Every structure is written in C-alpha cells, then in structure tokens.
Structure 1
C-alpha cells in the first residue's frame, strides 16, 4: 500500500513545528528520508501558491481602519506598524522580503525592498489624522535611529534630555516592541526557523519562510480577538521629508506628554475629591443651641 496524504502532511508539519530533520521523522512516518524532504517542499509550495494572495496581502481599507483605531488608543495615531518587522499590533505580518546577499544593515536592505513602491508611485493608502492640533496625511512606521529621517518614519529620540523626550522614547520603544514580538511568536510556533532551516538551499529557505509566515497569519486570524477592548494607560513614570519627520515626531512627543498629564491630573483630582469627602463625612455634628 502506498503512502496516504495525511502521512506526508504530518511529516511536513512536524518538521516545520518542531524543527526536526528528516532522520528524526522517518521512523515515525514510515517514510524514506528523500520522500520526507520531497513532501515538505511540495507542502510548502502548495501553501505558498494557494494562500499567498489572502494571507500576505496588502492591508485593505477595513484592515487599515482596524489598525488605526487600535494605535490611536496607544497614543500613536496614523501608525501602521514597525519597519523592522512589517507587522501590526496583532502580530500579523504584512510584508516579507528575502534574497539580500551577504551581511547588510537595515538601511541597505530597505533600499532594495519594494515596500515603499506604492508610496513612490502615488498609490499610498489615504490616511488623515490629527496630532497636537496639526493635520497629517499618510501613515508612518516606527523605526530605529539608524534609519533616515523620512516622512514615513517616526524614530525615537537618540539622546533624550527633557522629561517629555524621555517619556516619548519609552512609549515609542514600548509600542515598537509590542509589534516586533511577532518574531518570537513565529519562532515559538515554527521551530524550523530557529536553525534547522539552515540545512536547505536558498530557494527552499525562501519557500519554508513564506509557508511559516502564512501559517502564522492563519493562526492570528483564527485566535486574535479583534472585538476585545484594548485597555491601555500611558506610563506614569533638510528637506521636506526631514521636516515632516521632525514635525510629526515633535507633535507626537507633545501628544504623548498630554496623555501622561491627563492621567496624572485625573489621578490627583479623584484623590482630592475622595479626601474632601472623607473630611466632610468626619465633621462632628453638634445639637442646636437652645
């Protein structure tokens, strides 16, 4: 009797999820090593060809509306993700780019990536939002200080001095880490990404990574509760592109500081009213004088 499809799919998923090599799976699946590797690559190519259009799509209007609603609660209106991970707050990965040879830093990889092609060709999503009383057009990404000062980036303050700049730096880094945690989740679910995938050739590596990302997005779609209320409190504790970056960064600094002050003022107002009521309730009453 020949091999059934369930056997081949099981071996492929075991290699992806547990990072197992073919020698560790052959006895369980009762398959030859060459058949196991062939089944893995056929599975990856099938997932990639069928589901790429749906699970590695560009954000739709509904997707953008949901993303912008969430990030506005976090104090970053207009932000659609982190440029380092190209993922959103729900850890959905929107863009992948492979094939850059050798050791290269982030800006060099970015210049070879097609991520901003739509913006350069005038097909950027139409997003309008207000920060500290000033209107802005076009979304932006959170970025490290190594990137250029483009209008599509909001970077942290490299050497914060004032309390406002320090507070903004904490908020920017915290929001960026919330997005970039998708790398840890991806590696936890698909252990082949951590090391075993290095045994394959370049094209096989690309197909394996695409498959893991697509399956990761499927899990996000199935498990993430988009209707849940996001409980968030701010931490209590020279060109046109450069001008736009500086202006938006300064406005976001003011916006984050205003959120912090609002929480602080509400705290002391509630405490003052509570103490006043306590004092008023403890005032002794005396009988009327006859």
Structure 2
C-alpha cells in the first residue's frame, strides 16, 4: 500500500471539494483486491468498501497500472543464472537434461514466432537462424544423452512446430514401449507447464470468468498484474534450499508419497 500510494497520489486520502476527508487508501486497494482475487463485481463490493461503482472501477484499473509500473522490472525480468540453473536441474531430474522450458506457453513473449522464421527463410535456413539467435541469448549448456555430448539448451514442443534441433517434440502415435515411455514423459512435462495458467485462474478469479473490460490494454494489464503478484507470492513462499523430488508414475502407484508420517516409522503416508 505504501508503494502504491507513493507512486500514484490517487490512492492517498485527500480533502474533497467540501473540505471532508475522502476515501482511505485501504478502501480503494481492498476493493480492487476483492474484485481481483474473488472475481467479484463492483456491485458486490460497494457495500463492503462504502464506495461508488465508478470509483471502484477506477480504483481497480489504477491499481493494475500502478502494480505493473512499479514491479514489472523486478518480477517480470529475464531469468538470472541462478534461475536457469534451477530450471535445468529440475528438467534433468524429470529426465530432460538441457531443457529450459516448454515453447507452447511462450507465445506472448515472441515478436516473431518459429513458423514465421520457417515461412520467411525456409525450413533449413530458418532453423539455422533461429538456433543462432537462441544460442546468443541462451545460457551455455552442455549435457550428455546415451554417451553423446550436446551443446545448447532446447524447448519441449508439440507436433505443430518445425523439426528443429532446438525443439524436442513428442512422438506421434508411438508403438514401441521405448517411444511410448518417451512420449509419456515429454507430454507430462509439457502439461505441467500448461497447468500454470490454471494456477493463475485458481489464485486470481478475475481471469476465470468472462472478461470485465472491453479494450486490449485493460485486459493486458489484468494479466500482467496476475503474473506479477503470482511471482511475488512464489518468491515469498518458495523454499530455495529444499530438494525437489519427483515420483515416477505417481498416478499409477497405489501409494503416492506426499510426505512422511510423523511417527517412528519411515513409511510414507
């Protein structure tokens, strides 16, 4: 609240035209957060916040704009070396050394998608140019698979992407046990990435229902604020010292290890 008030004087309590103290910053920010977190309409918040509908909507949009202006550089920054090391370690634990993400969920950050590179320069030349761009901007990664050394990271992708060395795609219609095993793991990792939007919907109900605003700038501010505040919560709650553990085939096991019982045995609950 202090950062918001310092950035935008709209949220600071001021005297109105009659010399009466206006709305508190707690009222304006609480009204915006209730609409943001619970998906409530302005009519559902006015009695709680004791504010008019138009003032609630103005507070909501100003809140989005302020959060985006203050924290976008910190919470929507590019990954640091520490972040990339953690992502690479998680990918290796899941069976994909050198993997830095899923390309399916990164369209919104791209100015030119891979299909545009392919269409403009052809498959072979487009692949080479895109790989050069990725290598210049990506971290230096070396990993081994089946005794072979590979340089450079890669993304997981589905069947709509071109056959480039920077994309590791699933196996369509796998028949052998080896290909079925690979397709299961590859699709499982991609599905984990795609579930992140479901986490945003569960945490911020404003993006779960129909769009509240009618212009693209407002919708973009809503989504950016969702991601920024989500990253704030992750940074506050994430334990960077804990060792991540992944159970293979958790949905197929009769007993999925979630945590160990607090008794004398080591049996998982």
TM-score of the aligned structures, taking structure 1 as reference length: 0.68
Could you tell me how far apart the structure 1 residues matched to 2:42 and 2:154 are? 43
Tell me how far 1:230 sits from its aligned partner: 2.4
Match of 1:66 in 2: 86
Matches within 5 A, 1:1-290: 1-86=21-106, 96-97=108-109, 119=133, 122-235=136-249
Tell me how far 1:125 sits from its aligned partner: 2.1
Deviations 1:102-143 (A, max 9, x none): xxx9957x99xxxx7992683322222112212222211111
Could you tell me how far apart the structure 1 residues matched to 2:132 and 2:60 are? 34
Could you tell me how far apart the structure 2 residues matched to 1:139 and 1:117 are? 10
Could you tell me how far apart the structure 2 residues matched to 1:82 and 1:200 are? 30
Which secondary structure does the structure 1 equivalent of 2:168 belong to? strand
Match of 2:264 in 1: none
Bigger RCO of structures 1 and 2 (CA < 8 A, at least 6 apart): 1
CA contact (8 A) 1:118 1:124 kept: no
Deviations 1:33-55 (A, max 9, x none): 11111111111111111111111
Could you tell me how far apart the structure 2 residues matched to 1:2 and 1:14 are? 20
Could you tell me how far apart the structure 1 residues matched to 2:110 and 2:25 are? 30
CA contact (8 A) 1:71 1:79 kept: yes
Could you tell me how far apart the structure 1 residues matched to 2:132 and 2:219 are? 27
Query: Rg: which structure is higher?
Result: 1
CA contact (8 A) 2:131 2:166 kept: no
Could you tell me how far apart the structure 1 residues matched to 2:204 and 2:215 are? 18
Could you tell me how far apart the structure 2 residues matched to 1:205 and 1:59 are? 25
Q: 1:192 to 1:217 in 2, by over 3 A?
A: same
CA contact (8 A) 1:78 1:138 kept: yes
Which secondary structure does the structure 2 equivalent of 1:135 belong to? strand
Flag structure 1 segments of 5+ consecutive residues without an equivalent: 87-94, 100-104, 238-290
The CA RMSD measured in Å over matched residues stands at: 2.9
Deviations 1:164-190 (A, max 9, x none): 000001111112222222111100000
How many aligned residue pairs are there?
Answer: 220
Could you tell me how far apart the structure 2 residues matched to 1:37 and 1:147 are? 41
Which secondary structure does the structure 1 equivalent of 2:100 belong to? strand
Q: 1:96 to 1:47 in 2, by over 3 A?
A: farther
Q: 1:120 to 1:128 in 2, by over 3 A?
A: closer
CA contact (8 A) 1:21 1:196 kept: no
TM-score of the aligned structures, taking structure 2 as reference length: 0.73
Could you tell me how far apart the structure 2 residues matched to 1:51 and 1:129 are? 35
Could you tell me how far apart the structure 1 residues matched to 2:208 and 2:249 are? 33
Which secondary structure does the structure 1 equivalent of 2:149 belong to? strand
Could you tell me how far apart the structure 2 residues matched to 1:79 and 1:234 are? 18
